[in-house]
Chains A and B, each alone.
Chain A
Amino acid sequence: MSEVTLTIDGQQVKVPKGATILQAARQVGREIPTLCYLEGINAIGSCRVCVVEVQGAKTLMPACVTEVTQGMTVLTNSPAARHARRLNLELILSEHPNECTTCPRNQNCELQTLAEKMNIRDVRFRGPSHSYAIDASSPSIVRDPNKCILCRRCVAVCEKVQGVGAIVPLERGYRTTIGTAFHEPLLEAACVLCGQCVLACPVGALYERDYTDQVWAALADANRHVVVQTAPAVRVAIGEAFGLAPGTVSTGKLVAALRRLGFAKVFDTNFTADLTIIEEGSEFLQRLQNGGPLPMFTSCSPGWIKYMEHFYPELIENLSTCKSPQQMFGALAKTYYAQQAGLDPAGITVVSIMPCTAKKYEAQRPEMNSSGFPDVDYVLTTRELAKMIKTAGLDFESLPEEEYDAPLGISTGAGAIFGATGGVMEAAIRTVYEIVTKTELPGLDLLPVRGLEGVKEATLTIGDATVKVAVAHGLVNARKVVERVRDKTADYHFIEIMCCPGGCIGGGGQPITQMDDAKQKRIDGIYKVDQCLPIRKSHENPAVQKLYQDFLKEPLGHKSHELLHTTYRVRSRFGSVMEHV
């Protein structure tokens, strides 16, 4: 690729042709402020807080969308550039409610940070303020259009990364807002509640529905036995809320923190991830023997499930009937565990710590109450748990390393890798191979399905059978695979889909960061957990083996069907708005 040489603040720099001023400036250590820009996703040049002076140009240029040219001379910190950036930011602030102290994004807000960096002490204008209704219709995500700065990053993510298009710019001029078609509440729209828009939002206009008050209340209630489960992806990200690098494995401290918050038992979703492998692996083999329906899609990602229900209901039969590990856990906590501990399930509260906003919705699906009680009572995101730990005054870094409680806290490396794209497939293969061939799998690492490539494939020989598998993450990638299945141009047998880019480690409930390599770091953390565990195959988990012996009896048996499997429904791709047929 050809290169371009330019001068930025007196420094010469060589960058590939087509690079923007913003990218070139980063190369010489100049951070130009941005707000509407989101690397690789949104470059619309609308907020103008990134303008710089380009010698010879008539006007200031937005660094995020202006391509460099040979010999260009750029001043990023000239008085004219500084003044214009300040003015543009002040104009945004003039319509913005200044509610930082009570805002969910307090101290993690790009607008707040920019105001601080630009040393804004006073906003010289006061525009008319809006008073839009807050949309708290869904159990997952709250939308507060009053704080929206119309950067459209959420719109771009929903359309380009998830291919859903649930939220779009509406109206125009002063009345422009971001919302759903016909201003429907989010819960009624064809939105999968994945929360990728929340991660993209620079301010407090989109955030998770907060259930920490309910959890504090349950913990304070002496009549309730409150148990908690933690999803695989939480342990490699929660440290970020306390200044640790993405991917730092904080399992022991996470357990210690939960114990200190007052949970009676600290259990692990990784346990039911192992269980999922046994059930789902058996289901796959059954479909293989009985001639289908194939391919079978995994079913642990609730955003993905809702996507299929809205957009491809004709393929619902291809979804595994297994509940997600979160729901399997809840169902077992209120039956198996209650029995073992001699507790009345009515007195048990199950709390989940999840990297995901869609899990909040999943827990409230009416069919998720196999024990006669809701499988899971409250779902907190990684972010909400971090807030509880801060509220409780725990110094996360100095907490000791503690271990999960038995039996629902015992897990293997196969359960751990559920947190990364490709992990469910890899875990399933480790088990299916050994069930079928009754010989040990030569190498445990299924490298072709690891990593951040959008769609991954592998062809495996298992006994006499050739099994073709695919893995996709992010719904735009998922759609490519699903449409090939629908059009019968794919010959896969087993397909893993995760709604969020990177898998659960990139879930909509994770700490919000714009760090480029955070996803890869978290993935590295996940595989480190797997490497360090003594057992790395689900079927060798002794607690799962005991669960079958004492309680479930056999995979896909009567009890399993009652507690661990579920059904799906057909929804409209136009939300609650009826389709004319």
Chain B
Amino acid sequence: MTKSVELQKEVWQELDRIIQEHRGDRAALIQVLHRCQELIGYLPKEVQVQIAHGLGVSLGEVYGVVSFYSFFSTKPRGKYRISVCKGTACYVRGSMEVLERLEKELGIKAGDSTDDGLFTLEVVRCLGACGLSPVITINDNTYGLVRPDAIPRILMAYRPAGVA
């Protein structure tokens, strides 16, 4: 669960501005959530409370929507977003072993982010590159035919020099 966050005053002001635009309008919930996540990168508890307050809906309704859609996150995301494909082709060609190795190397589970704020690990559906399965992407870079053993080397490129 998210801990209390310290958002900067300007960020709160911008948030309030977005929420005020849709004051009392429950239909705007998803749109507001999108814009707030764009602004902060994720949707901490405090922000969801503020949205519930402004739109006049219960906190349950807000959290229900946030937890329904995988593109909303209640946790801060890392600088690099690693997506492991779990589409059929990738799955049968070993993407779960790749995922396991990633979890081991990063010390987190799918859906989580590393404490240093560097990586977020997630599982996605078919990326449309089945010919290269198993496939992972890290931000805009695509890696095909990935073997679990290749993971440490791939990650190295994203870590600051000198960090194992």
Q: Which residues of A contact B (CB under 8 A)?
A: 159, 164-172, 180-182, 189-190, 574-575, 577-580
In angstroms, how far is the closest chain B Cβ from the Cβ of A578?
7
What range describes how many residues of B lie at the interface? 20 to 34
Give how many A-B residue pairs fall within 8 Å (CB-CB).
57
**B1 at the binding interface (Cβ < 8 Å):** yes
Chain B, residues 56-68, CB within 8 Å of chain A (1/0): the string is 0111111110011
Please tell me if the beta carbons of B68 and A577 are within 8 angstroms of each other in the complex.
Answer: no
A-B contact pairs, 18 of them (CB 8 A): A159-B58, A168-B60, A168-B61, A170-B67, A172-B68, A180-B60, A181-B60, A181-B62, A181-B64, A182-B45, A189-B60, A190-B58, A574-B59, A575-B59, A577-B45, A577-B59, A579-B53, A580-B12
Please tell me if the beta carbons of A165 and B61 are within 8 angstroms of each other in the complex.
Answer: yes
In the bound complex, what is the Cα–Cα distance between A578 and B3 (angstroms)? 12
Q: Which of B1-60 contact A (CB under 8 A)?
A: 1, 4, 12, 45-46, 48-50, 52-53, 57-60
Closest to A175 in B: B67
Chain A contact residues, majority secondary structure: loop
Please tell me if the beta carbons of B61 and A579 are within 8 angstroms of each other in the complex.
Answer: no
Closest to B46 in A: A580
Q: What residues of B have a CB within 8 angstroms of the CB of A580 in the complex? A: 12, 46, 49-50
In angstroms, how far is the closest chain A Cβ from the Cβ of B132?
27
In angstroms, how far is the closest chain B Cβ from the Cβ of A156?
13
In the bound complex, what is the Cα–Cα distance between A306 and B62 (angstroms)? 22
In the bound complex, what is the Cα–Cα distance between A170 and B59 (angstroms)? 12
Please tell me if the beta carbons of B46 and A166 are within 8 angstroms of each other in the complex.
Answer: no
Q: Which residues of B contact A (CB under 8 A)?
A: 1, 4, 12, 45-46, 48-50, 52-53, 57-64, 67-68
Q: What residues of B have a CB within 8 angstroms of the CB of A171 in the complex? A: 67-68
Closest to B52 in A: A574
The listed residue (A159, A168, A180, A579) touching B49 by CB distance below 8 A is A579
The listed residue (B46, B48, B53, B68) touching A181 by CB distance below 8 A is B48
Closest to A171 in B: B67
Q: Say yes or no: A166-B50 contact (C-beta < 8 A), given A171-B68, A172-B68, A182-B45.
A: no
In the bound complex, what is the Cα–Cα distance between A159 and B59 (angstroms)? 12
Please tell me if the beta carbons of B58 and A166 are within 8 angstroms of each other in the complex.
Answer: yes
Q: What residues of A have a CB within 8 angstroms of the CB of B45 in the complex? A: 182, 577
Q: What residues of A have a CB within 8 angstroms of the CB of B48 in the complex? A: 181
Please tell me if the beta carbons of B58 and A164 are within 8 angstroms of each other in the complex.
Answer: yes
Closest to A183 in B: B1
Please tell me if the beta carbons of B50 and A182 are within 8 angstroms of each other in the complex.
Answer: no
In angstroms, how far is the closest chain B Cβ from the Cβ of A494?
29
Q: Say yes or no: A182-B58 contact (C-beta < 8 A), given A577-B45, A580-B50.
A: no
Please tell me if the beta carbons of B57 and A181 are within 8 angstroms of each other in the complex.
Answer: no
Q: What residues of B have a CB within 8 angstroms of the CB of A578 in the complex? A: 4, 46, 49
Closest to B59 in A: A181
In angstroms, how far is the closest chain A Cβ from the Cβ of B114?
23
In the bound complex, what is the Cα–Cα distance between A574 and B56 (angstroms)? 12
Q: What residues of B have a CB within 8 angstroms of the CB of A170 in the complex? A: 63-64, 67-68
In angstroms, how far is the closest chain A Cβ from the Cβ of B28?
17
Q: What residues of B have a CB within 8 angstroms of the CB of A577 in the complex? A: 45, 49, 59
Closest to A177 in B: B67
In the bound complex, what is the Cα–Cα distance between A574 and B63 (angstroms)? 11
In the bound complex, what is the Cα–Cα distance between A181 and B65 (angstroms)? 10
In the bound complex, what is the Cα–Cα distance between A166 and B63 (angstroms)? 11
In the bound complex, what is the Cα–Cα distance between A170 and B50 (angstroms)? 19
- In the complex, besides A170-B68, A190-B58, A580-B50, 6 extra interface pairs with C-beta distance below 8 angstroms are A168-B63, A189-B60, A574-B52, A577-B49, A578-B46, A579-B53
Please tell me if the beta carbons of A574 and B49 are within 8 angstroms of each other in the complex.
Answer: yes
Minimum-distance CB pairs A-B, first 4: A165-B58, A168-B60, A181-B63, A181-B59
In angstroms, how far is the closest chain B Cβ from the Cβ of A174?
13
Please tell me if the beta carbons of B53 and A166 are within 8 angstroms of each other in the complex.
Answer: no
Q: What residues of A have a CB within 8 angstroms of the CB of B50 in the complex? A: 579-580
Q: What residues of A have a CB within 8 angstroms of the CB of B61 in the complex? A: 165, 168
In the bound complex, what is the Cα–Cα distance between A580 and B45 (angstroms)? 10
In the bound complex, what is the Cα–Cα distance between A168 and B57 (angstroms)? 12
Q: Which of A190, A578, A580 counts the most B-chain CB atoms under 10 A from its CB?
A: A580
The listed residue (B57, B60, B62) touching A166 by CB distance below 8 A is B60
In angstroms, how far is the closest chain B Cβ from the Cβ of A184?
9
Q: What residues of B have a CB within 8 angstroms of the CB of A169 in the complex? A: 64, 68
Please tell me if the beta carbons of B1 and A168 are within 8 angstroms of each other in the complex.
Answer: no
In the bound complex, what is the Cα–Cα distance between A172 and B62 (angstroms)? 14
In the bound complex, what is the Cα–Cα distance between A170 and B49 (angstroms)? 16
In the bound complex, what is the Cα–Cα distance between A189 and B64 (angstroms)? 14
Q: What residues of A have a CB within 8 angstroms of the CB of B59 in the complex? A: 181-182, 190, 574-575, 577
In angstroms, how far is the closest chain B Cβ from the Cβ of A176?
9
In the bound complex, what is the Cα–Cα distance between A170 and B4 (angstroms)? 22
Q: What residues of A have a CB within 8 angstroms of the CB of B67 in the complex? A: 170-172
In angstroms, how far is the closest chain A Cβ from the Cβ of B72?
12
Please tell me if the beta carbons of A168 and B46 are within 8 angstroms of each other in the complex.
Answer: no
In angstroms, how far is the closest chain A Cβ from the Cβ of B90?
19
In the bound complex, what is the Cα–Cα distance between A170 and B52 (angstroms)? 16
In angstroms, how far is the closest chain A Cβ from the Cβ of B52?
7
In angstroms, how far is the closest chain A Cβ from the Cβ of B71?
12
The listed residue (A164, A165, A180) touching B57 by CB distance below 8 A is A165
Q: What residues of B have a CB within 8 angstroms of the CB of A180 in the complex? A: 60
Q: What residues of B have a CB within 8 angstroms of the CB of A159 in the complex? A: 58
In angstroms, how far is the closest chain A Cβ from the Cβ of B3?
12
In the bound complex, what is the Cα–Cα distance between A578 and B60 (angstroms)? 14
Closest to B12 in A: A580
Please tell me if the beta carbons of A182 and B64 are within 8 angstroms of each other in the complex.
Answer: no
In the bound complex, what is the Cα–Cα distance between A579 and B45 (angstroms)? 9
In the bound complex, what is the Cα–Cα distance between A580 and B40 (angstroms)? 16
